[in-house]
Structure 1
Amino acid sequence: MSEVFVEGFGVSVGKKSERLVVKRKGEVIFERPFFEVERVIVCTEGATVSSSAVHECVKNGIPVEFLSYSGKPYASLVSPNLGGTVKTRRAQLLSYEDARGVMLGRAFALGKLRSSANNLKYYAKYRKSADRAAYDFVYRRVDGIEALARQTEDIEGEKVGEVRGALLNVEGRAANLYWEGVRRIVPEFPGREGRGASDLVNSLLNYGYGILYNRVLSAVTRAGLDPFAGYVHTDRPGKPSLVLDLIEEFRAPVVDRAILGALGMGFKVGMDGEYLDEKTRKLAAARVRERLAVRVTHRGKKQTLENIVHAQARSVASFVRDGTPYKPFVGSW
């Protein structure tokens, strides 16, 4: 199965017989049977996608995703028949008002904190001999994050609205510690900045998060969950709060590990004005996709990180619907 990444101006995506065809200025640059295509990602405003290609994609369960030049997802096309059962969505909505919402919110936060701590351990272990001061600096941040994780375990309430402030507080404090550690390891990193970032490191991270976001959105939708009904992130029109909750388990072990690792190996970054240039976007996307294809041990067996994203979404559905215990994913180091 392959992922079709559409970049550049003058590109068209169409259907010919049972094949997906990508052309640039009338010349075929990619052609593949639909049954061999996993997803289509359009990362340019200068492309056209035919209705026949869209129809064939949704018929075959192939998501068509759209990213801005900064990596922000702005649309995703999926089949309306992939949404699972009404029972799951009813249970999801009801869980917001009882202890299930608290348990999920706490689990998402614990996954984020423990994965962040493990990421810093991963970066620090290569500096223990070469730069002891950096190693000690990073491990003080690790200790701080792990202490906050222990505090998170003790957060209790009858419904998630009662504990949201406490969860966001520990997440925010842990994030400050985490990015302090990253800044010591990546000297050119100015500190974390989300929307509107113009520096190279944050631009790469934001672009990678955009790719991951679409993976989580696809997983949540396929699990039969409502992506807009989350727990820790508040409900707002057009805000897929459940996606933003679940993605926290995967930012550090997927995107941060891929992007910061690439920078550590001399990854060359180019900018086109305030955005990453086309070559850099392609390379960054390739790094994130490679990371998603890495196999790690999860629930006693080797699985790709991409499959684990889907497994976690299904676990959320099983928890709210059937009461099956939910355990957050924690990246290893």
Structure 2
Amino acid sequence: MNTQTLLLSDFGTFCGKRSERVVVRKSDGSEEEFPLFRVQEIIIAKQGVSISSDVIDEAVQRGIKLTFIDGTGRPYAMLTSPYLSAPAVTRRAQIEAFHNQLSVRLARTVVAGKLANQANLLKYFAKSMPEAESESRNQITSHAETIHSVRHKARLVEAEKIDDCRDGLMGLEGSAGREYWAAIELMLGSEVFHGREHRGATDAVNAMLNYGYGILYAKVWAALLSAGLEPFAGFLHVDRPGKPSLVLDFVEEFRQPIVDRTVFVLLNRGAKIEMENNLLSAEARRLVAKRVLERLQSEAEYAGQKLQLNSIIQAQARRLALFFRGEKAYRCFRFKW
């Protein structure tokens, strides 16, 4: 079934319910209707958007996610029913795993999976570069091979518990990250991109990445909750107040195939991205959100079949729950270039 994510990003928009349909009415009086059974998520991405209690009631009953994101893409609120959750046994197993070797196996897998996707995305872009750019293409490929070498080291890390090897794994991740972002600078040009910045980024490329990651965080957060997992009890990322460390662990395998690929394709195709007051313009935010959501609805190979990336995120969250309960090995989703 073709499901939809509704993005409400215009000031003055009202979201209500009429019979079995969601009605979105903009400030100019124009309306669109969407069948409730096809709505998977509603994202409120702008101040001044109103949503009726009828829609909220239907959403929590049907398991439709309601997510609120700010101008940088950071999710600041999610509405869900307290009854749509898996049994507590999964959370108990997750907490117990922190104190045994399962924590090491997971953190090692997360780092290795992320690095594999970084290298594969670089190869994906390098293969399409013209012959006139063969020198840059070869350099990008070289960065990808170095990342593969670092990934091999990460896979060999052994310890009794995560506290004994976290620094080493994070060091390897950081080393590979420097290779990855140096390759991206080569691909985009230093006049467009000059290094990765996280919070407070004022350049278009980093702002696009951060906005896309914010949408992705909301997706993986909701998937973890649905699988009965505790978003604030991670392994590779340390626990801190207000920091959803398991979300940050779990999102790593999806950054490159979903957000990075989308943003870099947009830039390579000459998309005009404007900044306003050190934030993406409203039009730029709509464009990035639209393309990331389209990417999430695209299909990829998974477990011998074609699935939407949305569904793969949910399947991976369930697989992670099974891993904590000792019922299945955990393998990261690998982007095929």
Cα 1:162–1:323, aligned 2, differ >3 Å: closer, same or farther? farther
Secondary structure at the aligned position of 1:13 is classed as strand
Secondary structure at the aligned position of 1:131 is classed as helix
Match of 2:41 in 1: 39
Cα 1:25–1:286, aligned 2, differ >3 Å: closer, same or farther? closer
How big is the shift at 1:287?
Answer: 1.0
Structure 1, gaps ≥5 residues long:
none
Cα 1:195–1:300, aligned 2, differ >3 Å: closer, same or farther? same
1:182-331 alignment, distance < 5 Å: 182-187=184-189, 188-331=192-335
Aligned length: 333
Match of 1:13 in 2: 15
How big is the shift at 1:95?
Answer: 0.4
TM-score (ref. length: structure 1):
0.97
Tell me the distance in 2 between the aligned counterparts of 1:30 and 1:160. Answer: 50
Map Cα deviations across residues 27-72 of structure 1 (whole Å, 9 max, x no partner): 3522223222111000001112222221211111001001111111
- Let me know the Cα RMSD of the aligned residues: 1.3
Match of 1:134 in 2: 136
Cα 1:225–1:278, aligned 2, differ >3 Å: closer, same or farther? same
Structure 2, gaps ≥5 residues long:
none
Q: More deviation in 35-44 or 272-281?
A: 272-281
Selected match of 1:85 from 79, 84, 87? 87
Letter in 1 for 2:217: Y
Secondary structure at the aligned position of 2:334 is classed as coil
Secondary structure at the aligned position of 1:82 is classed as coil
How big is the shift at 1:276?
Answer: 1.2
Matched, 1:23 2:17: no
How big is the shift at 1:19?
Answer: 2.5
Q: More deviation in 297-306 or 151-160?
A: 297-306
Secondary structure at the aligned position of 1:84 is classed as coil
Contact 1:82/1:224 (8 A) holds in 2: no
Secondary structure at the aligned position of 2:83 is classed as helix
Tell me the distance in 2 between the aligned counterparts of 1:25 and 1:148. Answer: 52
Match of 1:75 in 2: 77
Matched, 1:170 2:172: yes
How big is the shift at 1:5?
Answer: 0.7
Contact 1:58/1:77 (8 A) holds in 2: yes
Letter in 2 for 1:7: S
Tell me the distance in 1 between the aligned counterparts of 2:32 and 2:52. Answer: 15
Selected match of 1:148 from 136, 150, 160? 150
Match of 1:120 in 2: 122
Letter in 2 for 1:70: T
Tell me the distance in 1 between the aligned counterparts of 2:284 and 2:298. Answer: 21
Secondary structure at the aligned position of 2:165 is classed as helix
Q: More deviation in 243-252 or 269-278?
A: 269-278
Tell me the distance in 2 between the aligned counterparts of 1:120 and 1:42. Answer: 33
How big is the shift at 1:128?
Answer: 6.2
Tell me the distance in 2 between the aligned counterparts of 1:212 and 1:177. Answer: 23
